[in-house]
Amino acid sequence: MECVILVGLPGAGKTTFYRERFAATHRHVSKDLMPHARQRQEQQDRLVREALAAGASVVVDNTNPAVADRAPIILAAREHGATVVGYYVEASTREAVAR
């Protein structure tokens, strides 16, 4: 079981990376999929924990720029015995805006 954390600017290609590499094997959790939800952070945390509790691998697809943003995800993964993997999706500001 794996918990993948994607990091990068908005528009850097994180969701494309998810689709190309993980869509067939991992659940996708992204705040972009809940634009009108209240308490999106809490909802994200719940979805990650539910996936891990069910034994499913999960990809957290958000900007996740700071250690503090990633810490609750890492904690949940460790509590469920998942391997934590991070990917930094690099793109210049110009590239990200163009997408």
Among 10-19, 60-69, 73-82, 86-95, the least confident range: 86-95
Residue 17: inside a domain: yes
Residue 63: inside a domain: no
Task: Tell me the whole-structure pTM to 2 decimals.
Answer: 0.91
Residue 9: inside a domain: yes
Residue 62: inside a domain: no
Residue 61: inside a domain: no
Residue 85: inside a domain: yes
State which residues form the domain around 28: 2-56+69-98
Amino acid sitting at position 97: V
Residue 64: inside a domain: no
Residue 40: inside a domain: yes
Tally of structural domains, the chain: 1
Q: Is the pLDDT of residue 96 over 80?
A: no
Q: Which residues contact 10 (CB under 8 A, 6 or more apart)?
A: 63, 96
Q: How many CB atoms lie within 10 A of CB 22?
A: 19
Q: Which residues pair with 3 in a beta bridge?
A: 58, 84
pLDDT at 71: 97
